[in-house]
Amino acid sequence: MNMKYVACGLAFLLLLSACSREEENAQEGVQAQEEPAVSVRVQPAEVTALQGWVYSQGTARSMRREYLTFTEQGKVTYVDQDLRVGSPVSEGQLIAHQAPERLEAELASARAALNEAEANLALARVTQNRYETLIEQRSASAQELDQARVEVEQALASRDSARAQIAQAELMLEESRLVSPIDGVLARLNIEQGRYFMPQTVDSTSEQSALQTVPALVIDPSRFEVRVDLPSYNFAQVEVGAHVIIGGRPPQHADSIDPEMLENQVTGEIHAISPSLDPQSRTFEIIIHTTDDHPRLQDGAFVAVWMAEPEKKNALNVPFNALRFLNDQAFVFVYDEQSGRVEERSVALGQQAGERREVLDGLSPGERVVTDGRTRLTDGERVTIIEAQP
């Protein structure tokens, strides 16, 4: 009888224990269901080639630009009526000139004086030769020969003076004419036929003033130069000969430059880098030359400039939007597939290339990082993957 009661008691205890375990498991399931999971997108860290770019802004200038002006005051008697701003001009083409009559008369007078001086020189040399012969025959004195030699020297001086006067007259006549020294385009024309010009009206204190007051400006639109200033800490990131993109946005990889993508951009290269810093701004100057034939640039245009840094062939990198920053420290949320949770991890950053940033330390290739989430994540939080981007 006692054994029967004992068996019943043991069965009851086992039933209570089973119910208790089922209740605990149910409570744990409810708790697991109650813990929310943040929906996020992830992307793996990749090892690829990265091309970084240094950004700046500058003004495009034609590499050959000629300011044309008169050196003497006078009436503008001729302006080529077929020329307009933007018209092509060729080397040696006459654009305008002042009244040439007085200068042409001075040139003719100088040439006549030269002819007279050369005739006097020829006569003086003949006289000198004659006295040298007479001296040998002892029919003339040494004083007479010396006098003949002095007359030759005087005639030589007169001839040289006449030649200098001709050169001066030709120069003045040339400076009264505006002639294009290059093949190019007429960029400015600030004179009119029949108006009086005075050199004092040209204001060269600034480029803007010069463009508004100089009689004419001719540029060569086939090659341009851009000068930019960079902070001193960028000095090690640029080098002579580096590829440059003017306008638009640069590619992520140096070997992925698509000609169609560059349709509205201009390519160039770094021509020179100044080794000295401006003492006030602590910047250094970079000179960029375009490499395209007849690039689509305007003289004086303000342009964006992207200068290529040395390319990194195998760089571990992540999307830029995967990075978070706190107190100048970068970190990412790494997704653990087994636990379904994220780990907050500090990373050391390197070069930036477009939408991606190099990671120097803190990640391994293939680890997936959160790029987008609905709420602010915390370390160890459970997440649900919305879309795994390739």
Length of the chain: 390
Strands (E), 69-183: 74-79, 88-89, 94-98, 177-179
Question: Position 194: which residue type?
Answer: G
Edge-first strand order for the sheet with 312-319 is: 46-50, 312-319, 356-361, 348-353
For the chain, the domains span 38-49+313-388, 53-62+223-310, 66-218
Question: Position 310: which residue type?
Answer: P
Q: Classify burial at 151, counting beta carbons within 10 Å of its beta carbon; exposed 0-12, middle 13-18, buried 19 or more.
A: middle
Q: Classify burial at 246, counting beta carbons within 10 Å of its beta carbon; exposed 0-12, middle 13-18, buried 19 or more.
A: buried
255 has pLDDT over 50: no
Tokens at 153, concatenated? 């020297």
Domain 38-49+313-388 shares a fold with domain 53-62+223-310: no
> How far apart are the C-alpha atoms of 310 and 307, rounded to whole Å?
10
CA 42 to chain centre: 38
Pairing verdict, β 329-336 and 341-346: antiparallel
224 has pLDDT over 60: yes
Percent of the chain with pLDDT over 70: 84
Whole-number pLDDT of residue 292: 85
Q: Is the dihedral of CA 292, 296, 301, 307 positive or negative?
A: negative
Q: Which of 68-72, 129-133, 208-212 has the lowest mean pLDDT?
A: 129-133
The contacts of residue 366 (CB under 8 Å, 6+ apart) are: 44, 45
Question: Position 320: which residue type?
Answer: F
Which residue in the block uniquely carries the two structure tokens 């003017």?
246
First to last CA, the chain: 74
> How far apart are the C-alpha atoms of 90 and 375, rounded to whole Å?
67
Residue 230 bridge partners (DSSP): 284
Residue 329 bridge partners (DSSP): 326
Pick from 194, 190, 192: which is nearest to 203 by CA? Answer: 190
Q: Could you tell me the CATH superfamily of domain 53-62+223-310?
A: Efflux pump adaptor protein, beta barrel domain (2.40.30.170)
Dihedral over alpha carbons 193, 198, 200, 202 (to 10 degrees)? 10
10 has pLDDT over 70: no
Task: Write the pLDDT tens digit of every residue in 86-131.
Answer: 999 999 999 999 877 676 777 788 888 889 888 888 988 888 888 8
Topology (CATH) of 38-49+313-388: 2.40.420
Question: Position 366: which residue type?
Answer: G
Q: What is the mean pLDDT of residues 40-51?
A: 91
DSSP type of residue 367: -
> How far apart are the C-alpha atoms of 166 and 161, rounded to whole Å?
9
Which residue in the block uniquely carries the two structure tokens 């008691």?
9
Task: Write the pLDDT tens digit of every residue in 134-179.
Answer: 878 877 788 888 888 888 898 899 888 888 888 877 777 777 889 9
Whole-number pLDDT of residue 375: 65
Gyration radius (Cα) of the chain, Å? 43
257 has pLDDT over 80: no
344 has pLDDT over 90: yes
Whole-number pLDDT of residue 388: 53
